[in-house]
Amino acid sequence: MVSLSKNQTVSLSKETSSLNQLQFGLGWDPLKKKKGFFGSLLSGGSDSIDLDAGCVLLDASGKTIDTIWFRKLKSSCGSVVHQGDNLTGEGEGDDEIITVDLTRLPAQVEYLAFTVNSFRGQTFNEVDNAFCRVVDQSRKELARYQLTEQGSHTGIIIASLARKGGSWDFTAHGKASSGRTIDDMHADIVATVVR
């Protein structure tokens, strides 16, 4: 397994012999806030953070082919599937998972941009231990990116997959965006992912 830093890229094909299916896992925890009467007043009594994982399929020029998120859990081609929305971030491991069948991706898909955004408008100042990871079909973790920056933004282009001939490169971005939905983030996605 490769632990990536921001803007670092790894060839997934070098990490595994045959690459057919991937799981993109996203995890996070709510930042632990001060307890007591004033702490619960300031946090609204809730320690849950509702982040949403999304995936945008792009062609070589950056044109959107499809968008997968909590409002559309499966791509039109059937190759990308969101496993469902986690509303709290509670618990260990992956909070949201997107599976990608690389053998079924349309040929014009050159990039898959993975995003995280806060539909409710909670900022990343309220998020702790955010990470993304890529796991192959044998459950082997190929790469992991631990997001260390916080801030007042509501979205992040966390990582991307790029088709390089017959192989796939995974890049950790950690690029802040102000979008509360994946559609709001489109310009930032293209600027970050398409090279």
Task: Find the range with the poorest average confidence among 13-17, 97-101, 157-161.
Answer: 13-17
Burial 125-147 (b: 16+ CB within 10 A, else e): ebbeebbbbbbbeeeeebbbbbb
Domains in the chain with CATH codes: 2-193 (2.60.60.30)
Q: What is the pLDDT of residue 170?
A: 94
pTM of the model: 0.86
Cα→Cα distances 48→43, 61, 119, Å: 10, 38, 13
pLDDT digits (tens, 9 = 90+) for 1-14: 789 999 999 998 77
Q: How confident is the model at residue 36 (pLDDT cuts 50, 70, 90)?
A: very low
pLDDT digits (tens, 9 = 90+) for 80-135: 999 986 655 555 678 889 999 999 999 999 999 999 888 788 888 888 888 899 99
Q: Which residues contact 99 (CB under 8 A, 6 or more apart)?
A: 21, 22, 23, 24, 80, 81, 83
